[in-house]
Amino acid sequence: MKLGIGGGPTMALSGGLAAALLAHPVALLTSTAVVAAIGLLVWLRTAPTPEIDGGAANVAGTLEASAAPQPAEHPAVPRNLATPASGDVALAASPEAAPAQKPGGPARGAWIYGWALDSRGAAVAQTQVNIWDATPEGSAGVVADDQGYFEFESVLPAAQCYVNAFAPKARSTQTLLEDIRAGQSREVRLVIHTNKVRGRAVDTAGTVLPGTNVLAGPRIPYKGGLPTAMTDRAGEFVLEGLFPDTYDFSLQLPGEEWQKTGVSLEVSGDSDHSGLLLVLPDPGECQISGYVTAETGAPIAEARVSAHLPIAPYTSRWARTDSAGWYCITGLDEGVYILQLAHAEYGNGFRRDVALGGGDENFTLAPRGTVAGQVLDATTRQPVRKFEVLERLPSSSDDPGMYSEQWHEVESAEGRFVLERLVPGEAAVEVRAAGYAQSKQMVEVPPGAVREDVVVMLERDREISGIVVDAAGAPVPGTALFAGPLPYEYERDQKACAHAAGDGTFVLRGCAAGAEVISAYHHAYAPAQAPMPADQGPVRIVLNEGARASGVVYLDGAPLEGASVGVFILGLYVGPSGSARTGADGSYTLEKMPEGNAMLNVSIDWNGKNGGREQAVELELRSGQVVKRDFHFATWNTALRGHALANDKPAPGLFFSAFTMLADGTRETFDGHTTMEGEYALAGLPPGPCTIAVFPPGAQGMEETVKEVVVIVEGEEVERDVAWAE
């Protein structure tokens, strides 16, 4: 069946529920992080009358060189915008545009401005406009004025960021801006859409579902809230503010998990569609169930119980306890599961090796505890009267186990603080204050009680000054500075201690004590580090172009498309410094790699959904160096199998690695998970010595694995069990 909105017959039904992947609970021997490149159309502004229409929901910002308008009189709304024809248009100043004329100049970062418009080109007033991935907080928002005009000052340099807008019952397409630099001005025009979808939700018997949540999920990764609605007494709903894209629809009964309906719909233009029928899949019978109670024996309602299958197809489902503390999880594939419990007022629960239909899985939870204490100056032993404490607050109404971190300001003459609703066990108490280095200490949280003896000693902070320059000695404004190793990319906005000013200078204040290095990151250069000085500095950090690597990945002599290539600078990074995918000709390119000892690795799919295969080689990188390195994977007539045995019993769902050294010094690794019977099986390994490493439950690194060494022989199947006592 096919239906459509504003563009002919375009609706399609797709069946099946998407299986949620459970992340490995261990640190992998080698990483295969991949940055997916998203292809986006870019329109150039070649005429004074740009066209606007409902096109792709992600729109690349078109580049234009134009003088920035003065802040006192922002540009008038364009009056010559054409009626929609084909494709939304977003306009932005080029990376080489004239410096923004906002107060503070380049030291304040980039200036992004523009208008929120409807599909006819008319201004949409009082629209909420958000910018993502280009602020210290990760996102920021402003409200457009009566002419639809908005602006963001001091936008941090970034390789890319997104801008979108929300109005009552309307949403804009999402505009991608690339290569944001300090001192730029960039113009954006956001097109607001008001598409509606009306329909009805029923179960498999045709009974209407009142009070049911409805979600329209776009196919593109969209920042911000997605279109949702709730059915009325007749099971009917109206979803509003859908921008052009293809949507997948899900339903959620009160207190239960979202379930995909298998219905998809392509939305284009501005239109109103009615008659969409969404059917909630039959959940089936209980497969894992039980009771959750307090230590007093009282039932605990509203606890979330999640079941995760740690091997393919990685099924993940959850249920919430009722007033009797009873839960029932359905829709599970065959396998042995991990159960996790969370509740806003109680501690967490965890259990491994849970079989389907094996009887009630009951849990007893301890109440959450409280930590109270005092913050003192480490030198004078006097109270610090004004400080901030890091609180971990629930971030999801569906999952009390999810939380967000927020700094809470405290003013107390005696330096007192209280942290409530902490999960029993070990917890981190983090405190910061102006003029002091940030402190973090671990404390034991008592269940259902208050611990009042925590004392936090804050060391006086040093102000460390410095400058960031390029190889020619020119300042690099907007560079992010970190105390310690460079964090993962998604953490950099939150963890940056400072940003370089327009003249490249910076001052570090209030960063965590004990850091040995200062790390610097700017998207146009390779990252760099400098030793943390013993005094106040100054520190000089030089950014350069970095090294470049390229080559071809082969499998059995043929170029391999879609292989993941990554580089890790040993001792410098928490995560990879760069990654890429091979093209149709098997080639890859990595740029802006920092100097130092690096690990270059390639990962390919292997052994179906249950594992992967990787090659890695160490390199010494220098700025300006071009590394040519091909990788050759071969399929050998070999096999290795065995069982993981804990106390002589099969250990299902455990991660394992098999690694060997090739003749050219490349390390090759095969990995996967043991089956429900605790078995592992690999084929195509290179002949020669091979080490099998199994990660027992709770293992956090290779040093905690159980290992066996075998010799792989071509044309033979080698069997070896890996056993340990717990």
135-156 residue pLDDT tens: 666 678 899 998 999 998 878 7
Residue (of 220, 190, 155) closest to 477 by Cα position: 155
Compute the chain's Rg from CA coordinates.
28
State yes or no: cis peptide before 447, omega within 30 of 0.
Answer: no
pLDDT for the residue 601: 92
| pLDDT at residue number 558 | 94
Q: Cβ atoms within 10 A of the Cβ of 507, count?
A: 15
Cα 689 versus chain centre, distance: 38
For 522-570, strand residue ranges (E) read 528-531, 539-543, 547-555, 558-559, 564-569
Residue with tokens 């990760």, as numbered in its chain: 138
Helix (H, G, I), strand (E, B) or coil at 608: helix
Q: Do residues 32 and 614 touch, judged by C-beta distance below 8 A?
A: yes
Interatomic CA distance for residues 343 and 304, integer angstroms: 6
Nearest Cα to 233, choosing from 252, 255, 211?
211
Q: Is the pLDDT of residue 240 over 80?
A: yes
pLDDT bin (cut points 50, 70, 90) of residue 513 is: low
Pairing mode of beta strands 547-555, 631-633: parallel
Q: Where are the alpha helices (DSSP H) in 274-362?
A: none
Strands of 403-411's sheet, edge to edge?
Answer: 403-411, 386-394, 425-432, 439-445
Asked whether the beta carbons of 11 and 4 are under 8 A apart, the reply is yes
pLDDT of residue 57: 41
**pLDDT at residue 575 above 70?**
no
Tens of pLDDT, residues 341-367: 999 899 999 998 888 877 889 999 999
For the cut 50, the answer to whether the pLDDT of residue 92 exceeds it is no
Q: Which residue has the higher pLDDT, 410 or 702?
A: 410
The Cα 233–Cα 485 span in angstroms is 55
Q: What is the rounded distance in angstroms from the CA atom of residue 111 to the CA atom of residue 99? A: 9
The b/e string for 477-488 (b: 16+ C-beta within 10 A; e otherwise) is: bbbbbbbbbbbe
Predicted confidence (pLDDT) at residue 382 exceeds the cutoff of 90:
yes
Instruction: Kindly state the average pLDDT of the residues 420-439.
Output: 90
* Sign of the dihedral through C-alpha 129, 134, 139, 140: negative
Rounded CA-CA distance 105/503 in Å is 11
Which residues are CB-neighbours of 628 under 8 A, at least 6 positions away? 549, 550, 551
pLDDT at 12: 31
For Cα atoms 393, 397, 400, give the angle at the middle one, nearest 5 degrees: 55
Q: How many CA atoms lie within 13 A of 404 on its CB side?
A: 8
Q: pLDDT class for 397, splitting at 50, 70, 90?
A: low
Q: How far is CA 585 from CA 155, 556, 560, 565, in A?
A: 38, 14, 7, 14
Per residue in 712-723, pLDDT tens?
A: 999 999 999 999
In angstroms, the CA 600 to CA 563 distance is 13
Per-residue confidence (pLDDT) for residue 360, from 0 to 100? 87
pLDDT reported for residue 477: 92
Asked whether the predicted pLDDT for residue 492 surpasses 60, the reply is: yes
- Do the beta carbons of residue 516 and residue 532 sit within 8 Å? yes
Residue 87 — very low, low, confident or very high, per pLDDT cuts 50/70/90? very low
For the ranges 27-31, 115-119, 141-145, 549-553, which has the lowest average pLDDT? 27-31
Q: Which residues of 244-273 are buried (b: 16+ CB within 10 A; e: fewer)?
A: bbbbbbbbbbeebbebbbbbbbbbbebbeb
pLDDT at 13: 30
Distance from C-alpha of 41 to C-alpha of 90, rounded to nearest angstrom:
11
Average per-residue pLDDT for the chain: 80
Which residues, listed in sequence order, are joined to residue 520 by a DSSP beta bridge?
A: 481, 528
* Average confidence (pLDDT) over 452-465: 90
Q: Please give the residue that has the higher pLDDT: either 335 or 236.
A: 236
Statement: residue 392 has pLDDT above 60: yes
pTM for this model (two decimals):
0.58
Express each pLDDT in 97-133 by its tens digit: 333 344 433 445 788 999 999 888 899 998 899 988 7
How many CA atoms lie within 13 Å of 592's alpha carbon, on the beta-carbon side?
A: 15
Q: Given its phi and psi angles, is residue 33 left (phi above 0), alpha (psi -120 to 50 degrees) or beta?
A: beta
Provide the residue type at 636 as one letter: W
Q: What is the mean pLDDT of residues 447-462?
A: 91
Cα–Cα distances in angstroms (integers) from residue 234 to residues 201, 211, 212, in the given order: 9, 9, 11
Mean pLDDT of 10-25: 30
Provide the pLDDT for residue 215.
Answer: 93
Percentage of the chain modeled with pLDDT above 90: 44
Is residue 396 very low, low, confident or very high in pLDDT (cuts 50, 70, 90)?
low
More confident residue, 84 or 312: 312
How high is the pLDDT of residue 572? 62
Which single residue is written with the structure tokens 């910018």? 131
Per-residue pLDDT, 717: 93
Q: Yes or no: say if 201 and 208 are a contact pair by the CB < 8 Å rule.
A: yes
Do the Cβ atoms of 423 and 392 come closer than 8 Å? no
For residue 497, pLDDT over 60 is answered with yes
User: Could you give the CA distance from residue 41 to residue 417 in angstroms, rounded to a whole number?
Assistant: 52
Exposure string for 108-137, b = 16+ CB within 10 A, e = fewer:
bbbbbbbbbbbbebebbeebbbbbbbbbee
Examine the pLDDT at 258 and tell me if it is beyond 90. Answer: no
Q: What pLDDT is recorded for position 21? A: 27
pLDDT average, residue stretch 680-706:
89
**Mean pLDDT along residues 89-101:** 35
- Phi first, then psi: give them for residue 494, nearest 5 degrees: -75, -30
pLDDT 10s digits, 43-78: 222 222 233 333 334 443 333 323 333 333 445 444
Cα distance between residue 156 and residue 334, in whole Å: 49
Question: Is the pLDDT score of 660 beyond 50?
Answer: yes
- Range scoring the smallest mean pLDDT among 31-40, 508-517, 534-543, 590-599: 31-40
Most confident of 165-169, 400-404, 645-649: 645-649
Three-state DSSP state, 489:
helix
CA-CA distance, 604 to 616, in Å (whole number)? 12
Confidence band of 326 (pLDDT split at 50, 70, 90):
very high
Say which residue, 251 or 221, is predicted with more confidence: 251
State residue 607's pLDDT score.
62
560 confidence band (pLDDT: 50, 70, 90): very high
